[in-house]
């Protein structure tokens, strides 16, 4: 379960129908100064940064495998879209964001930062 108090929630689409995915099943959106990827896997929406933590490759040009891993288009590193951990090694962690479909739209949570972010 997601602790909603730890996130600032941003409406990114009015509905699921507004989400446009590429042929590879990955879409992108701009949220503040971040490019974020969005994809659907096993009926759930997932969001993650567009930049591979290894070499900065655009993950929007990668692909999603049958296990729910985003595969980097440069070096084939695999990252689990649920928790950001590398699937084929240890080391790099992909930044992920919670995504929720609500009656009034699709929202992505950005972790609160600052002195009182633990509240």
Q: Measured between alpha carbons, how far is residue 60 from residues 3, 15, 26, 30, 117 in Å?
A: 27, 21, 6, 13, 30
pTM: 0.89
Kindly report, residue by residue over 20-52, the tens digit of the pLDDT: 999 999 999 999 888 999 999 999 999 999 999
The stretch 79-106 carries a mean pLDDT of 93
Residues whose CB is less than 8 angstroms from the CB of residue 1 and which lie 6 or more positions away in sequence, other chains included: none
Whether the per-residue pLDDT at 88 is higher than 80: the answer is: no
Query: Residue 28 carries which DSSP code?
Result: E
pLDDT of the residue at 2:
66
pLDDT of the residue at 113:
78
What dotted CATH number matches 4-111? Answer: 2.102.10.10
pLDDT of the residue at 114:
58
């Amino acid at each position: 379960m997601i602790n909603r108090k730890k996130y600032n929630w941003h409406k990114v689409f009015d509905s699921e129908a507004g989400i446009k995915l590429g042929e590879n099943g990955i879409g992108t959106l701009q949220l503040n100064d971040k490019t974020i990827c969005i994809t659907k896997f096993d009926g759930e929406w997932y969001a993650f940064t567009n930049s591979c933590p290894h070499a900065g490759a655009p993950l929007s040009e990668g692909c999603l495998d049958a296990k729910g891993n985003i595969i980097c288009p440069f070096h084939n590193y695999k990252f689990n879209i649920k928790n950001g951990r590398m699937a084929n090694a240890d080391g790099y962690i992909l930044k992920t964001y919670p995504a929720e479909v609500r009656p009034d739209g699709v929202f992505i949570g950005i972790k609160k930062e600052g002195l009182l972010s633990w509240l």
